[in-house]
Amino acid sequence: MDLPKLAIAALGGTVSMQARNAGEGVIPTISGETLLASVPELTTLARVTVETLGLLPSASLDFDFLLSALSWANFQIKQGAVGVVITQGTDTLEETATFFDHLWDHEEPLILTGAMRSAAQPGADGPANLLDACRVALAEDSRLRGVQVVMNGQIHPACRVRKTDSLAVQAFSSPVFGPAGMLVENVVRYVRPPAHRTVLPLPQQTTQKVAMLEASLSADTLLLENILELGYDGLVIGGFGAGHVSESWAEVIKHIAKKIPVIIATRTGSGSTAQSSYGFIGGEMDLIRKGASMAGFLCPRKARVLLWLLIGCQREDELARYLLED
C-alpha cells in the first residue's frame, strides 16, 4: 500500500527538552528525528519527512522565524505532503497557531502540538501528542480547517485555543466554543464542520511594532502616553470586563486612536467584548466613539498577532472586517 506523505518540523520547546545533568533545569536538546523515533507507529501510517528547524523555547520565537517555518511548510505541501505537523513549546503555542492560521492558504491541514512534560519526566506527553497530531494531519476530515492545535487528545481551532493553565497536562482549552474534535480510540472525530476562513497575503513588511498593555486597578497612564513617541504602529489593550478602561486611560486612547489602530480586548480569559451595553467614560461605547475597535472573542494576544499582520499587509483599514469574522 502506498502510504501518504507527512511532513514534521521541530522548533523546540518542552517536547524537546531534557536536563544535561541531574539537578539542572531542562533545555531544548532533542531533535525532530529523535522525537520521531519515540513514536515508531508513525511509520505504519505515513511516509514521514522530519526536519529540525530550531531548538528554542517558544518564548524566544519571533515573527520572522515563524515566516521561515511557514515557508518550509508551504514547500512540503508543494512536494506532495497531505499534512504538516509542527512541534514547539506551549508558552506561545496559541499565538503561533493564530499567526499561521491567518496565512495558511492550503486545503491540507497544518497541525501544531507540544508537551507539558519534558521528555525526561515520567508520563511525558510529547510522544502521544505527536502521534495524535499526525493522526489529525492525515485525516481526510481535517482538510479545509486551516491550522489546529492538538493536545491531550483534543483538537482546537487556532483562532479559539488558549493555554489556560501553567503546568497541568490539560493546559489547553477553547473557552466558550470548546474543542472542534477529539481522538477516540485513535480515530479523529470532529463535532463541528469547518468554519469559513479568510487568509491574508504574506506581510510586505515585518518591522512594524504593536504594543500590548493590560488595564489594571489605579494604573497610571505613563506608558500609554508614550506609545506614539516610542514609534509603535498599533496598540492592543487587555481591558477590564467586556472591554473597559479607566477615564484617564480613555482620554489618552482618544488621542492615540487618531494616529494608529487601537484594539480593546478583554483580559478576563473568556467571553467577548461588548459593543452597545456600557455608556460610561471608558466603557466600550465611549471607546468606540473615540476611535478604538473592540476585539470580540479575540484575546489580547491573538488581537496583537492579527494587527501586526494587517499592518504588514497594509490592510489595517480592514481591521473591523477581520474582527467581525473572528
Q: What is the pLDDT of residues 64-87, one digit of tens each?
A: 999 999 999 999 999 999 999 999
pLDDT bracket for residue 23 (50, 70, 90): confident
pLDDT bracket for residue 212 (50, 70, 90): very high
Is residue 81 domain-shared with residue 130, that is, in the same domain? yes
pLDDT bracket for residue 1 (50, 70, 90): low
Is residue 305 domain-shared with residue 182, that is, in the same domain? no
Is residue 168 domain-shared with residue 216, that is, in the same domain? no
pLDDT above 90: residue 140: yes
pLDDT above 90: residue 125: yes
Is residue 230 domain-shared with residue 134, that is, in the same domain? no
Between CA 236 and CA 307 the distance in angstroms is 8
Q: Alpha carbon of 64 to those of 97, 202, 205: distances in Å?
A: 15, 11, 10
Decide if 255 is inside a domain: yes
Average pLDDT, the chain: 96
Nearest to 169 by CA among 111, 112, 129: 129
Between CA 265 and CA 269 the distance in angstroms is 10
> Which residue range(s) make up the domain with 160?
5-190
Is residue 159 domain-shared with residue 16, that is, in the same domain? yes
- The predicted-structure confidence for 40-71, as pLDDT tens digits, reads as follows 999 999 999 999 999 999 999 999 999 999 99
92 is catalytic: no
pLDDT above 70: residue 241: yes
- The predicted-structure confidence for 263-277, as pLDDT tens digits, reads as follows 999 999 999 999 999
Average confidence (pLDDT) over 309-320 = 96
Average confidence (pLDDT) over 200-211 = 98
Is residue 154 domain-shared with residue 56, that is, in the same domain? yes
pLDDT above 90: residue 120: no
Task: Quote the number of domains for the chain.
Answer: 2
Is residue 180 domain-shared with residue 65, that is, in the same domain? yes
Res 223: pLDDT: 98
pTM of the model: 0.96
- The predicted-structure confidence for 164-184, as pLDDT tens digits, reads as follows 999 999 999 999 999 999 999
Please, how many CA atoms are within 13 Å of residue 165, restricted to the half-sphere of its CB?
Answer: 11
CATH code where residue 40 lies: 3.40.50.1170
Is residue 32 domain-shared with residue 180, that is, in the same domain? yes
- The predicted-structure confidence for 90-106, as pLDDT tens digits, reads as follows 999 999 999 999 999 99
CA 275 to chain CA centroid, nearest Å: 25
Decide if 163 is inside a domain: yes
